[in-house]
Structure 1
Amino acid sequence: MADGRGRLWILDTAAPNFSEPIKRGAKLVAVDLETNRIRKVYTFTVDVVLPTTYLNDVRFDFRVGKAGYAYITDSSTRGPGAIIVVDLSNGNAFRRLNGANSTSPDPYMLPKVEGQILMNRNKDGSTSPFRLASDSLAISPEGKILYFAPLTSRHLFSISTEALRDRTIPDMDLPFHVVYWGEKGASDGMITDAKGAVYAGDYENNSIRKILPNGTMETIAHDPRILWPDTFSIGPDQYLYVIVNQLHRQPRFHYGKDLRQKPYSLLRMKIGEFPAPTFFIIK
């Protein structure tokens, strides 16, 4: 993502096809858009990126600390989910809500997409439940609240970013700082606008939902072309941009047969709102 300050941020999972991440391979990279050169690389210790870790979404707030903070979801398929907090001034990173209910898959959920239950279907005919931990991520306009949700879950949660950064709060007590917002549909991509509304995909229903700061939810788009909405972005043109990646049609879910259809799509819709800022705006 571009941060509006001349940098492009790239999150390298170092875990192709959800494999075990290459040791010291996972990283967060800042690229200078003016020179097209790498400005900074942040790597992670083995107690942050575990053998089961799959780094996924990232959100930034450059208004706190010396250089800002990044918040990254661990979307593990076979280990604990978590939110990884990174101090951008020195690269120090640590796991929070590790294995908590709010970052874990809903064990009772059976995702259903395009009329079919989503599950791992292997070439040899064997099957297993599809489970994926904390994924969706969005930050409030003032940077004080982080919204998140596991991918195989229909529930929305939030937590104070101050509590996440405060390591004097023991891990066992941190779940008490989590706020439950109710069911918003099963989502992958998620983002907030400048007024604090959260936009979240609903991959089971080919839809996009808007959640207002008072908790009111509404469906703002419903279309058969919205095939697994992901990677949300709000532009200065007040459009919401959404990638539809057809994730549920991948070979792993269909006994090795790839059902995805090209061309892939980038959709947009006018929402009449600006993106949430990540740094102070001087007027």
Structure 2
Amino acid sequence: MSKDQASAWTIEQVATFDHQVTGVSVSEDNRIFVNFPRWTEDSAVSVAEVGKDGALRPYPDEQWNAWRNARKDELEPGEHWVCVQSIVADGRGSLWVLDPAAPAQAHLVSGGAKLVQIDLAGDKVKRSIAFDEEAAPQGSYLNDVRFSKDGKHAFITDSGVVGAILVVDLEAGKTVRLLDGHPTTQMKKGLTVKADGEELRRPDGRGVEFSADGIELSSDGRWLYWQAIKGDTLYRIDTGFLTGKGMQGGDVGDQVEEFGKNGVSDGLLIPRGTNKMLLSAVEDDAVKVRDLDQGPSGRPEVLVQDQRLRWPDTFTQGPDGTVYVTTSHIQDSAFFKPDAPPALPTQLWKLTGGRF
């Protein structure tokens, strides 16, 4: 990408929210969905559809959004959003909701961890795949999900205390937990995440502590990529090993490849029909792009840098090719700033003006 192409990119605000947003996804018919995890507030809406006027509609309905931390003993966690971290429209008529069920990224609510499929035509839950303690033990925090090209498997990162990759056979409802504790899914020792040029730490001295987080599939579906937020290295594995040997209970650790350095990053996206990776450069208030054809030696370049990109978090691509990104303002949250407002304003942006 030339410097002129990179400099042409800008961001345009699509919506603003009164709560901390993380995930965003756009369906094949151009409907926009977002989610709000229960991190530092007990948000009233967990999953919502964004109207053309920016208004939020609880999705799929108010009942699924009725959970409150104070009412946790009154509502069934398997039938309500407990702490939703990500959402993905699969292009096949469904929106999938990943609920790690760990408010404040702390105690996992028993029976709450799940992957839920919603039929977009009828706006109704079609099925829910619950994760038991073997798949999602205490200390886990299921973070993001991608689906195989044939729609038969889901791949999920666990960014909790012990990182891992989960593989779900969607037809059978079977889940295996792979690369559990493997060096490629863990936080990198000695690495410190910065914001505004300074180390980002909580009042008790802890820094940013997320294991395997960003995840993406290559355009042909062969390679699954991921990295830890508290890390700077991109890894990949041939999905055939995950759905084959891995689903059979085998160790696939020796099949993981190191694929160069991304720097500290959260969300990943490979735009359709390309072999380029967008990554959220959270330390630089930027979105960067990397040419995967250059292999492990490829280096990310700045696509767009803007001070309004306060922790660019999750990417999605609309049916017309437009790329969207949320800014979750993690560095501005009560985790790191105790005097931060409980309801943290965040935004949804779209990238405009350039080409990949």
Answer whether TM exceeds 0.5 for this pair: yes
1:109 to 191, 199, 203: 191
The residue number in structure 2 matching 1:49 is: 136
Is contact 2:176-2:249 (8 Å) kept?
no
1:31 to 118, 131, 143: 118
For residues 243-280 of structure 1, the C-alpha deviation after alignment (integer angstroms, 9 at most, x for no partner) is 011011111212x221699642211113546xxxxxxx
Q: Which amino acid aligns with 2:200?
A: L
TM-score, normalised to structure 1, is 0.87
CA distance in 2, matches of 1:153, 1:180: 12
Is contact 1:199-1:209 (8 Å) kept?
yes
1:17 to 86, 101, 104: 104
CA distance in 2, matches of 1:83, 1:134: 8
CA distance in 1, matches of 2:322, 2:209: 32
CA distance in 1, matches of 2:113, 2:316: 23
CA distance in 1, matches of 2:342, 2:185: 29
Q: Which amino acid aligns with 2:201?
A: M
Q: CA RMSD for the aligned pairs?
A: 1.8
CA distance in 2, matches of 1:98, 1:262: 33
> How many residues align structurally?
261
1:159 to 231, 234, 237: 237
TM-score, normalised to structure 2, is 0.70
Correspondence list, 1:97-246, <5 A: 97-121=179-203, 126-165=204-243, 166-167=245-246, 170-171=250-251, 174-193=252-271, 194-215=273-294, 216=298, 217-246=300-329
Q: Which amino acid aligns with 1:69?
A: H
CA distance in 2, matches of 1:130, 1:7: 33
CA distance 1:169–1:43, change in 2 (3 Å): closer
Is contact 1:14-1:21 (8 Å) kept?
yes
Is contact 1:185-1:201 (8 Å) kept?
no
Correspondence list, 1:49-68, <5 A: 49-63=136-150, 68=152
CA distance in 1, matches of 2:180, 2:270: 24
Once the 2 structures are TM-superposed, how far is the Cα of residue 128 of structure 1 from its aligned partner?
2.3
Q: Which amino acid aligns with 2:306?
A: D
Is contact 1:249-1:259 (8 Å) kept?
no
Is contact 2:223-2:238 (8 Å) kept?
yes
1:82 to 157, 160, 164: 164
Is contact 2:193-2:207 (8 Å) kept?
no
Q: Which amino acid aligns with 1:48?
A: A
Structure 1 window deviating more from structure 2 (126-135 vs 100-109): it is: 126-135
The residue number in structure 1 matching 2:69 is: none
Identity value in percent: 31
CA distance in 2, matches of 1:27, 1:230: 21
Is contact 1:239-1:272 (8 Å) kept?
no
For residues 109-165 of structure 1, the C-alpha deviation after alignment (integer angstroms, 9 at most, x for no partner) is 1111112211222xxxx3223321000000011111001000111111111111122
Is contact 2:146-2:154 (8 Å) kept?
yes
1:4 to 91, 101, 104: 91
CA distance in 1, matches of 2:219, 2:344: 36
The residue number in structure 2 matching 1:279 is: none
CA distance in 2, matches of 1:238, 1:261: 32
Unaligned 5+ segments in structure 1 are 274-283
SS at match of 1:24: coil
For residues 40-70 of structure 1, the C-alpha deviation after alignment (integer angstroms, 9 at most, x for no partner) is 100112111010110111001141xxx5100
Is contact 1:97-1:175 (8 Å) kept?
yes
CA distance in 2, matches of 1:169, 1:220: 40
CA distance in 2, matches of 1:185, 1:130: 14
Once the 2 structures are TM-superposed, how far is the Cα of residue 74 of structure 1 from its aligned partner?
0.5
Does residue 155 of structure 2 align to residue 71 of structure 1?
A: yes
CA distance in 1, matches of 2:198, 2:263: 16
Is contact 1:12-1:55 (8 Å) kept?
yes
CA distance in 2, matches of 1:182, 1:106: 14
Is contact 2:214-2:267 (8 Å) kept?
yes
For residues 165-206 of structure 1, the C-alpha deviation after alignment (integer angstroms, 9 at most, x for no partner) is 2235732xx222111122212111111122222111110111
SS at match of 1:252: coil
CA distance in 1, matches of 2:210, 2:344: 25
